[in-house]
Structure 1
Amino acid sequence: MKSRLVWLLSLLLIVSAFLAACGGAKDTKDDTSAPADNGQDNEDAKTEETAQPDAEQVLHLIEVDEIPSVDHSISEDAVSFVVLNNVMEGLYRLDQESMPIPAMAEGEPEISDDGKTYTFKIRDAEWSNGTPVTAHDFVYSWQRAIDPDTASPYGPYLMEGMVKNATEIGKGEAEITELGIRAEDEKTLVIELENPIPYFLSLMAFPTFYPLNEEFVKEQGDKYASTSDAMIYNGPFKLADWDGTGNWKYVKNETYWDKDTVKLEEITVDVVKETATAVKLYEQGQIDRAILSAEYAMQYADDPEVVNELETALFYFKMNQERNGKATPLANENIRKAIARAFNKDELAEAVLANGSRAANFLVPAEFTYDEDGKDFREYSDEFTVYNVEEAQEYWKKGLEELGTDKVTLEILGGDTENAKKQQEWFKSELERNLSGLTIKLKEVPFAVRLELDNSSDYEIQSAGWGADFQDPISYLELFTTDSPQNLMGYSNPEFDKLIESTKIELADDPVARYEAFAEAEKILLEDDAAIAPTYQRGRMALMKPYVKGLATHPFGGDYSFKWMYIAGKE
C-alpha cells in the first residue's frame, strides 16, 4: 500500500473538478471559486467580530466554470446557484449559521393548525429597476417553474407531492393556476401544501422558489437572463458585465432592502480552471481566495492563510443501465456491485484528494442532518459497498458469465479541467487493475456539455455529485426515485419509491420512523441494487487572504453568501 501511495503522490493526482448540480449538478460545482468561512479558531472569530471595513471594498474571486444559467426556473447547478443566492432573494435566506431567516417575508408566517397552510406577509422591497416586490411575483415564479413548457428540472421535482395540485398539474389533470399558491393582495401570500413538510422554511431559501417580475420577464422574452442586463435583481448584489459567457462581476444593489448590511461594493469573478494558475494569481495578490488541490494542499498545509471545512457535497458514480434505447453492461446488477467495490475510497480521499475529503460508503453525508435529539442521520444508517477487491472480483466474474463475455468496455463521463482529468485517470487505473477484462475509456467534457449528456442519458458511468437543496435526507435520496428528473440512468425500484413517499405522508410527523425509512431506502439503493457507487464526501482546503471577513458557507442551497463579507486590515 505504501508504495502505491508514493506512486500516487509522485503523479500529483489532485482533487476532482466534477460539477454536479444542486441538482444536475445540484450536482455540485468544481471548487475553485467562492469563499468559505473565515476564522478557524476562537481568536480569529474575535478578530472578525471586532474588525471593521477599512479598505477599498472590492473582492477578487475565481470560478472554475462559466455560468450555465441564471434563470432560476431552469438553473440546476451549483455555479448558478451561488450567483442566484447573491443577486436574488426568496421568502427566506440562510444566515451566517445557515439557519433560515425571513428575507422577502416580513416575518415568520402564520401556519394553520394542520401544518399545511402558510400565510406570509411580503416586506417593503424593490427590484433593481425600482418596481415593488409583491406576492404576485412569487405566484408567477412558482407557476412558471411548474409549467411543463418551462422544462424546469427543479419545479416539478420539488413541488410535486409538496405543493397542493402540483402533482395533478404534472399529469395534466389540473391547470397551472390551480397550484397551491395565491396572492390575496400585493403583500399577502398564501401557500397550501399537500402534507406538513418539516423542512419547508429552509426550502424557501432555495433558488427555484425565488420571485420573478412577470412584466419584466415577458418583456425580455427569450432574452431573459441571457446577459446581466436582461435581468432585474432583488438580492444584495446585481450581476454585471456578463454577456452569457466568461467572467462576471457582482456590484452592490442600492435598491436592496437591507443594503446597509452589505459592505462590499464589487466582487470580480474570473474563470480559471487550472489550480496552478489560481495559486499563482493568489500569490501575486490578484485574487483573494484559491482552492487547493492535492499537491498544493500538502504544500500549503501549515500555511496560516489556509482554511479547511467538510462540505455536504457527496460524489458518486451514476451507472446508466440504458443508453440510446439499449441496455448497457451496467444493467447487470453484479457488474454494478463489482464496480462499486473495486476502487479504494480511502486512498482516493487521503492520497488523491488530500484536502480533508472523506471516503463515502453512503449517500446522505455525515454532519449534515440530525434528529430532534441531535443524532446524526449516519447513526441511523450503515456503510455500504465498502472497498473489497475479493468481493468485487466475485461479482465481476458472475456478471461476465451472465453477460456471456470475458471483456467489457465502459466509458466514464467526467469534467475537462486539469483536476478532473487526473482523478478520472486514477479511477481508470484502479478499475482496470482490479477487474480483469475491463477497459475504461474517458470522456472529458465541459460542465455544460456533461449536463446535456446527463439530461439525454447519453453516458455509461458518470462522475457526478450532489449538494443538498435543503437540510433533510430526502434531498439526496429522492434523486433516485423512478420519476425523479435527476435519475436519468434507467433505475427503478418500487420498494425504494414507496419508502421515500412514506416519509412525505404517513411518517411526516414521526421523525424517528422517518429516519429509519430513509436508512432502509439507502440500503436498497446502495447495497441491494448498487444503483450508484459513492466515492467521497468533499472536503475543502483553500488559501484565503486574512483581510477577507464575514464569509458564509452553507451545507445546502447556494453554497456561499457574500452579503456579510467585507475587507479589513488590508495593507
Structure 2
Amino acid sequence: MLRRTLLSMTSVAALGLGGPLLAADVPDDVTLADEQTFSYRMLDQFPTLDPQLNEETAGSHVIQQLFEGLMIQDDEGNLIPGVATGYEANEDNTEFTFTLREDARWSNGDSVTAQDFVYAWQRAATPATASPYAWYVELTGMENAAEIIAGNAEPDTLGVEAVDERTLRVTLTEPKPYFPAMTSYATLSPVHQATVEEFGDDWTDPENMVSNGAYVLEDVSLNEFWRASKNPEYWDAENVVIEEITGYIINDSSQALTRWEAGEFDLLEPIPAGSFPRLKEEYPDAAYSTPRLCSYYYQLNQRDDAPEALKDVKVRKALSYAVDREIITDRVLQGGQTPGYTFTHEATAGFEAPTIDYSGWTQAERDEAAQQLWEEAGSPELDLTLIYNTDESHRQIATIISQMWKQKLGVEVTLENMEWSTYLDVRKAGNFDVARSAWCGDYNEPSTFLNILKTDQEQNDGKWSNTEFDALMDQAATSDNPQAQYTEAEMILSNDMGIIPIYHYANVFMLDPTLQGFPMQNVENSWYVKDFYRVAEE
C-alpha cells in the first residue's frame, strides 16, 4: 500500500490538487525595475558545469540555475516540486514514485521525461564517468548503487526505472524517508542524453548545452565571469522575472567589497573577515548574517605516507585543543559564526549536539591539556604543511592557527595557498599534512556531514578511519530514530580527533536592497534566481 507524502507548506499544489507553484512571488503593490538582472561575486572558477561531475559549491549554485531536479526548495528550505509535481512512498520508505509535470521542457523544446533521470543517475554511478560524487548515489541507498560503483554490476541495474514518460520509480535497499530531499542536489539533476552523447566532454560548452532549468548558459570566460539568460522553454517561464544572471570570479575579498560598494554586482558572499560590524552599521539594509549549514575544519593526513606523529591521537588532540576558536569567530570573522566542537552544524534539522568535554573548558584549560598531551606523545619535533585555497579569510585563519601551534606546542608550519581547482586536486591526492576544508550539507539531515568521514568515502581526503564510527553510521541509515547513533558518532570523532572542527558557518553577505526574493531562512543557502525580482528605486 502506498502512502501519500505531504510536502510542507505546499503539499496540496505539489500533489497536483491545487494551483501551480510559481517562481518569483511579486507582491501586488511592488513596482518592478525596468532592468531585471542579477549579478553576484564568486570566489573561485567552477571546475565543471556537468551535474554528474560537480563536487563543489560554486558549480552547484550555477547548475541550480541551469538544471532542475525532481524536487527543489522554497525560501525556508522546505521541499517543493521541481520537475516532479509530487511523489508517493511505500509504508517503509524503500520505494518512491515520482510524477513528472507534463509541461517540463529542455531548452531545445524536447520534453523532460523519466528516462532523462534514469540516464543521468546511471551515468553518475557508472565507473566510466569517474564522478567524484558517485558516492552520493550510493548514499541514497538505491538498489545496486554500491555494486555498480565498484564495477561489479551493470549501470542498468540501478534501482531507478521509467515506468512511463511521466512516472519515475526508485527502489532503495533500506528505508530513507528523506530520500526526496536528496533529489534536489546537483548530482541527481537530469541531463539531455542526446547532447551528452553527441558532444562528449564539450557538451557543457555554451554553444552545446541543453538544460531544463529556468536559465540557459550564454557565456563562460575562464576565471572572469559566466552569464545566463532566461529560458523561454522553462515550465514556469511566465513567472520568472530576472532576465539575465552574471557571476563574476573575484578571488580578492577586499577588491570584491570595493566593487560591490561601487555597484558592480548585487550579491557579495562572503564578505572580508571582520568587516561585518562596520558594514552592518554603514549599510543596515544590505548587510546580513544568517545561519548556514556548513562546517569549517582542518583535515589531518593519516594516510600511510603521512607524518607518523599525526597518527597519534594525543598529537591530534593537542593540535585541536590548542586552537582558540573564539579568537577566530569573535575577533577575526565577526559575522555570527560559532566555535565548532562537533562536525555537524548545530542548525541541522533533527540534530541534538552532544556535550563535547573540551567545549566547556576555558582556553587556558585546553592549552594546559594540549601541552600535557604533547609531552605524553614524546614532544615530537613536527614540521607541517598546511594547504588552503586562495582567500584572505583562509589565509588569516591559517596564519593565526599556525602561530598558536608554534607558541603552544613548538610546531613549525609552512602555509601553501592554491587556486581552487589545484587545491581540490592536491587535497584529493593526499599531498598535504593539514588541509583547510569545509563541508556544506547536500541536504538538511546530520548524515550529510557524518557520512563523509566514513572510511574510503570520496570526500574523506585525510583518510581518518574508525570501524566503530562506520558501523554507527551504517546503523543510523536504517534506524527509525538515528539521533543516538549520530550522538555516539560525534563522540567517537571527538575522542579520536579524526578532524579538527573549527567553526560553524553563518552566511554573511551583502545584497543590493533592490534585489528581492533571496531566501534568508534557507540554512542550506540554496537559492534560485527564478525566485528573485528587482524593485524600482524610490
TM-score, normalised with respect to structure 2: 0.90
Partner of residue 416, structure 2: 443
Unmatched tracts of structure 2, length 5 or more? 1-24
Check conservation: 2:36, 2:242, Cα contact below 8 A.
Answer: yes
Partner of residue 536, structure 1: 503
Instruction: Please give the alpha-carbon distance, in whole angstroms, between the structure 2 residues aligned to 1:181 and 1:198.
Output: 16
CA deviation after TM superposition for structure 1 residue 48, in Å: 6.9
Check conservation: 1:252, 1:264, Cα contact below 8 A.
Answer: yes
Instruction: Please give the alpha-carbon distance, in whole angstroms, between the structure 2 residues aligned to 1:551 and 1:161.
Output: 29
Instruction: Please give the alpha-carbon distance, in whole angstroms, between the structure 2 residues aligned to 1:541 and 1:158.
Output: 31
Q: How does 1:127-276 map to 2 (within 5 A)?
A: 127-160=106-139, 162-225=141-204, 227-276=205-254
Unmatched tracts of structure 1, length 5 or more? 1-45, 371-375
CA deviation after TM superposition for structure 1 residue 361, in Å: 0.9
Check conservation: 2:299, 2:461, Cα contact below 8 A.
Answer: no
Instruction: Please give the alpha-carbon distance, in whole angstroms, between the structure 2 residues aligned to 1:311 and 1:529.
Output: 26
Partner of residue 27, structure 1: none
Partner of residue 346, structure 2: 366
Instruction: Please give the alpha-carbon distance, in whole angstroms, between the structure 1 residues aligned to 2:178 and 2:449.
Output: 14
In structure 2, the CA distance between the partners of 1:48 and 1:307, relative to structure 1 (3 Å rule), is: farther
Check conservation: 2:196, 2:203, Cα contact below 8 A.
Answer: yes
In structure 2, the CA distance between the partners of 1:220 and 1:62, relative to structure 1 (3 Å rule), is: same
Q: How does 1:33-52 map to 2 (within 5 A)?
A: 50-52=29-31
1:416 to 390, 408, 413: 390
In structure 2, the CA distance between the partners of 1:238 and 1:383, relative to structure 1 (3 Å rule), is: farther
SS of residue matched to 1:300 = helix
2:370 to 388, 392, 408: 392
Higher RCO (C-alpha 8 Å, min separation 6): 1
In structure 2, the CA distance between the partners of 1:47 and 1:85, relative to structure 1 (3 Å rule), is: closer
Partner of residue 31, structure 1: none
Partner of residue 317, structure 1: 298
Check conservation: 1:335, 1:396, Cα contact below 8 A.
Answer: yes
Partner of residue 9, structure 1: none
CA deviation after TM superposition for structure 1 residue 295, in Å: 4.0
1:76 matched to 2:88? The reply is no
Instruction: Please give the alpha-carbon distance, in whole angstroms, between the structure 2 residues aligned to 1:236 and 1:458.
Output: 40
One-letter code of the match for 2:303?
Answer: E
1:126 to 64, 81, 105: 105
Q: How does 1:327-338 map to 2 (within 5 A)?
A: 327-338=307-318
Check conservation: 1:78, 1:558, Cα contact below 8 A.
Answer: no
Describe the superposition over 1:1-40 as per-residue Cα deviations: whole angstroms up to 9, x where unpaired: xxxxxxxxxxxxxxxxxxxxxxxxxxxxxxxxxxxxxxxx
CA deviation after TM superposition for structure 1 residue 552, in Å: 2.1
Partner of residue 13, structure 2: none
Instruction: Please give the alpha-carbon distance, in whole angstroms, between the structure 1 residues aligned to 2:515 and 2:116.
Output: 35
Check conservation: 1:553, 1:561, Cα contact below 8 A.
Answer: no
CA deviation after TM superposition for structure 1 residue 59, in Å: 2.0
SS of residue matched to 2:220 = coil
Aligned residues: 505
SS of residue matched to 1:68 = coil
1:434 matched to 2:408? The reply is yes
1:453 matched to 2:426? The reply is yes
Check conservation: 1:117, 1:191, Cα contact below 8 A.
Answer: yes
Instruction: Please give the alpha-carbon distance, in whole angstroms, between the structure 2 residues aligned to 1:236 and 1:552.
Output: 17
Check conservation: 1:308, 1:541, Cα contact below 8 A.
Answer: yes
Is 287-296 or 464-473 further displaced after alignment?
287-296
One-letter code of the match for 2:352?
Answer: F
In structure 2, the CA distance between the partners of 1:240 and 1:385, relative to structure 1 (3 Å rule), is: farther
Instruction: Please give the alpha-carbon distance, in whole angstroms, between the structure 2 residues aligned to 1:130 and 1:166.
Output: 31
In structure 2, the CA distance between the partners of 1:244 and 1:183, relative to structure 1 (3 Å rule), is: farther
Describe the superposition over 1:157-179 as per-residue Cα deviations: whole angstroms up to 9, x where unpaired: 34257001112223333221111
In structure 2, the CA distance between the partners of 1:391 and 1:219, relative to structure 1 (3 Å rule), is: same
Describe the superposition over 1:246-290 as per-residue Cα deviations: whole angstroms up to 9, x where unpaired: 311121111100112210011222111222222222222222233
Q: Percent identity?
A: 28
Check conservation: 1:78, 1:559, Cα contact below 8 A.
Answer: no
Instruction: Please give the alpha-carbon distance, in whole angstroms, between the structure 2 residues aligned to 1:469 and 1:221.
Output: 27
CA deviation after TM superposition for structure 1 residue 498, in Å: 0.5
C-alpha RMSD over aligned residues? 2.0
SS of residue matched to 1:301 = helix
TM-score, normalised with respect to structure 1: 0.85
1:563 matched to 2:530? The reply is yes
In structure 2, the CA distance between the partners of 1:337 and 1:359, relative to structure 1 (3 Å rule), is: same
CA deviation after TM superposition for structure 1 residue 233, in Å: 1.2
SS of residue matched to 1:108 = strand
One-letter code of the match for 1:94?
Answer: Q
2:486 to 515, 518, 521: 518
Instruction: Please give the alpha-carbon distance, in whole angstroms, between the structure 2 residues aligned to 1:155 and 1:555.
Output: 26
1:491 matched to 2:476? The reply is no
